[in-house]
């Protein structure tokens, strides 16, 4: 009985507290990112679609060694190399990637390809809009992956939350 009386006194206070909290959240306003209208915000280490990088002079970094394909646990990367010639020089090395396909339906975005790459040519970038109407369209060709192809609808966040997470992971 005493407990129940105690509860009867505290319960309205608890309800008032709960309503105060929701009111506070109400006044702080929405945090929703209105994606198609506003750019989406991703964190710097967010792993999205791959990008094939270039050197500053415009040459492709990829030398067609297919180490990424070997490292890939789902075997979603297919590389076919060709010889560079003096007339048609694509990359600084001997060879370049003639075909570089990634099947985005198989890719698990683990980033092993980027780790295996000796020239840091393939990197997981931030694009996540990978929906297609046809499943064969999900096999991205070299032209689709090669830079420059950064989407405008993305903003890379660099705020406190990220910094905090980064310090945790480095410990």
Partner 1 sequence: MSQEIVQLLVDIVKLIIIASVIMGIFTFILLVERKLIGRFTRRYGPNRVGPFGLLQSIADAVKMMLKEEMVPGHVDKVIYVMAPGMALMTALSVFAVIPFARDTVVLPLESLIGFSVYLTPWVADINVGVLYLLAVGSLGSYGIILGGWSSNNKYSLLGALRTSAQMLSYELPLGVAVLSVVVMTGTLRVTEIVEWQTQFAGLAWIVFLQPVAFLIFFISALAEAGRAPFDLPETENELIGGFMTEYGALKFGLFQAAEFVHAMMFCTITVTVFLGGWNMPFLNEILNIMPTPIQALAPVLHLGIFIGKSLAVYCSLIWIRASVPRMRFDQLMAFCWKWLLPIALLNLFATVMGLAITAELLGLW
Binding site for partner 1 (CB under 8 A): 4, 8, 15, 18-19, 21-23, 25-26, 28-32, 34
Strands 139-140 and 95-103: antiparallel
Q: Which is nearer to partner 1, 15 or 82 (CB)?
A: 15
Q: Residue 52's closest CA among 64, 39, 70, 44?
A: 64
Q: Residue 121's closest CA among 62, 72, 45, 81?
A: 62
- Please state, in angstroms and rounded to a whole number, the distance separating the CA atoms of residues 109 and 132: 17
Q: How far is the CB of 41 from partner 1 (least distance, A)?
A: 16
Q: Which is nearer to partner 1, 16 or 155 (CB)?
A: 16
Q: Which is nearer to partner 1, 34 or 169 (CB)?
A: 34
Sequence-distant (6+) residues with CB within 8 A of 88 are none
Q: How far is the CB of 67 from partner 1 (least distance, A)?
A: 45
Q: Which is nearer to partner 1, 37 or 86 (CB)?
A: 37
Q: DSSP code of 136?
A: G
Sequence-distant (6+) residues with CB within 8 A of 39 are 152, 153, 154, 155
- Helix/strand number for the chain, H first, E second: 5, 7
Q: How far is the CB of 129 from partner 1 (least distance, A)?
A: 18
Q: Which is nearer to partner 1, 27 or 56 (CB)?
A: 27
């Amino acid at each position: 009985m005493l407990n129940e009386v105690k509860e009867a006194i505290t319960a309205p206070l608890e309800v008032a507290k709960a309503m105060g909290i929701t009111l506070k959240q109400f006044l702080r306003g929405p945090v929703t990112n209105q994606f198609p209208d506003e750019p989406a915000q991703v964190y710097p280490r967010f792993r999205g679609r791959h990008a094939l990088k270039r050197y500053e002079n415009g040459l492709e970094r990829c030398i067609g060694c297919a180490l990424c394909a070997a490292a890939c646990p789902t075997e979603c990367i297919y590389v076919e190399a060709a010889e560079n010639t003096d007339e048609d020089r694509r990359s600084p090395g001997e060879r370049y990637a003639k075909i570089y396909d990634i099947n985005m339906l198989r890719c698990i975005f683990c980033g092993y390809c980027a780790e295996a790459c000796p020239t840091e040519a393939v990197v997981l970038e931030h694009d996540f809009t990978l929906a297609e109407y046809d499943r064969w369209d999900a096999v991205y060709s070299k032209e689709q992956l090669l830079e420059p192809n950064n989407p405008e609808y993305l903003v890379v966040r660099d705020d406190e939350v990220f910094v905090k997470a980064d310090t945790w992971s480095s410990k």
